Structure 1
């Protein structure tokens, strides 16, 4: 069985340097650290994780709590977090809440007991008290994608309001005046931010807000499909729909097809979140593109900076981009 001395000899470094790489107790040049890890792999050397944790009071594990890893947005975000974490010798422990309050409470308690070094959290918006207690006890938490309504903490987010403003302006500039908006969960911060962008665009063009055009799709395909079926079946339906996440965009398109309507001929659509299938739709979907991979990477970078004391708590917002494709028709006068 290989020893730490064998690893040091194979990598051409001191035993102390191998220890620094394993425990993360001192900075090591990236090239040297990579050589040490390669030697560990070649020799099949595995340090005793429990003893290591006792010595360093670290586990080199980051907890990640998201609503649904099957959602392409969160899958890409977690991939970005994982790639960054791996480069720094960390692993991820991933939990899915399904936007459920009790699931979130269970996972937060579990991760606290497991003594993860830090946490990336996409909160449901309903567990502020518990999250606040964890922060008060010293747990390093970086919020991803969204923030709780009553807590101030480091976060990496998208420019949600700006993206919704761009999407709504795009529709208005093409002649649309009755624009339905499909919103996510009421307690989630991204819902409020995207609604603000929608409202601001209407106000900018002197259009009144029609509350009947606001529907909630619960951030899911089925929820959005049912909401859009009802919206488009009204006597005075909207000429365009702005769906505020990727899954709800799919639900909106399903509703349009079920009602045998043509997109964009009879109903135009803009989505929020760009995803691989957007160009494969017929028509290709106009969307507001976020950078979930970048959110994941920057969140881990921020968390590691907090753990090392090299960074102060901050809120980072990544830019979004309106990607115009073929799902928006220009109406007369637009």
Structure 2
């Protein structure tokens, strides 16, 4: 039986006559190898884990689809864990996946870490961080170039003539938010002293946060003429708040969003956005597990998708409605 098992696992070379006898017996007995036993004998689970905040969000849904497709192409199963972006659930899933002995882990979070996640991720071989960093983790890290995205957004708004720009951001301390903010600041700084970021908020990447930021924007004594919104979800909330106040985009305020996952081209107006290479990021994460690349940060390029939500600023004597 040991010889037959090694033959089926491809770990032994047998004479052709012996191979034929084994294959004939398998056919006659309609024998099917036990996949669980095979995985145990090989010391591999042939399964990877994907931990992400949620699947209702279009960004994470597309990311999960890309990882699933790439894993399938490699003959790997996928265990999907949606954490609701709660650290307790993240830690619980990490412990479960560690006990299950997955061959690799793709981990996505959407909040800063207090050190607990980094310690837990370090216990799982083959871990890859995707989209957002967990500082202190020694692993391959695959992110979009957030700093370049903020810079592209700033350049586009400045090129349209805006000199007072606002930023509606994510939680401070997140790698994605820090990069987008730094890129926007660099673009404004390069423009010279006449340009400035005159309004900013920080909060979760969510529609509710976008609504809150819109209220703050409307209450500002001198609101900026353009907004860079650092997530698509927040941008939808901002648009809702501006629409309810009868503020026109781009007539009264220009807007650029980050992500470009949903059908932003169908909105009124169609939103200019920074597009992340979501599918490429998912494929690259699986490739990093399969090829066992070493620790390091890999930045994937973003691009500016120009639509109709950016226009020159309104005249100096024109005030926002309301």
TM surpasses 0.5: yes
Residues 187-232 of structure 1 show CA distances to partners (whole Å, capped at 9, x for unaligned) of: 3210111111111111111248867611024100111111122112
CA deviation after TM superposition for structure 1 residue 79, in Å: 1.1
Match of 2:75 among 89, 94, 100: 89
Match of 2:267 among 275, 281, 299: 281
1:173-252 map, 5 Å: 173-207=159-193, 213-252=199-238
Contact 2:118 2:136 in 1 (8 A): no
1 CA distance for matches of 2:7 and 2:148?
47
Contact 2:272 2:310 in 1 (8 A): yes
Name the SS of the counterpart of 1:81 in structure 2: helix
- Please provide the CA RMSD for this pair: 2.5
1:8-87 map, 5 Å: 19-20=9-10, 47-87=33-73
- CA gap 1:95/1:186 in 2 versus in 1, 3 angstroms: farther
1 CA distance for matches of 2:230 and 2:90?
23
Aligned to 1:294: 280
Aligned to 2:15: none
Give the alignment's TM-score, normalised by structure 1. Answer: 0.81
Give the alignment's TM-score, normalised by structure 2. Answer: 0.84
What is the count of residue pairs matched by the alignment? 294
CA deviation after TM superposition for structure 1 residue 153, in Å: 1.9
- CA gap 1:45/1:195 in 2 versus in 1, 3 angstroms: farther
CA deviation after TM superposition for structure 1 residue 150, in Å: 2.8
Name the SS of the counterpart of 1:213 in structure 2: strand
1 CA distance for matches of 2:142 and 2:74?
19
Residue 241 (structure 2) pairs with residue 255 (structure 1): yes
**46-55 or 150-159, larger mean C-alpha shift:** 46-55
CA deviation after TM superposition for structure 1 residue 243, in Å: 0.8
CA deviation after TM superposition for structure 1 residue 172, in Å: 1.1
Contact 1:181 1:244 in 2 (8 A): yes
- CA gap 1:157/1:329 in 2 versus in 1, 3 angstroms: same
Aligned to 2:300: 318
Aligned to 1:115: 101
Name the SS of the counterpart of 1:99 in structure 2: coil
1 CA distance for matches of 2:121 and 2:260?
34
Aligned to 2:19: none
Aligned to 2:26: none
Residue 152 (structure 2) pairs with residue 166 (structure 1): yes
2 CA distance for matches of 1:255 and 1:176?
21
Q: Name structure 2 gaps, 5 residues minimum.
A: 13-29, 316-322
CA deviation after TM superposition for structure 1 residue 183, in Å: 0.8
1 CA distance for matches of 2:307 and 2:34?
53
2 CA distance for matches of 1:315 and 1:46?
43
- CA gap 1:52/1:185 in 2 versus in 1, 3 angstroms: farther
Where do 4+ consecutive residues of structure 1 move more than 3 Å? 14-20, 44-47, 127-130, 207-212, 311-314
Aligned to 2:24: none
2 CA distance for matches of 1:217 and 1:47?
52
CA deviation after TM superposition for structure 1 residue 130, in Å: 4.3
Contact 2:91 2:120 in 1 (8 A): no
Q: Please say which structure displays the higher CA radius of gyration.
A: 2
**167-176 or 97-106, larger mean C-alpha shift:** 97-106
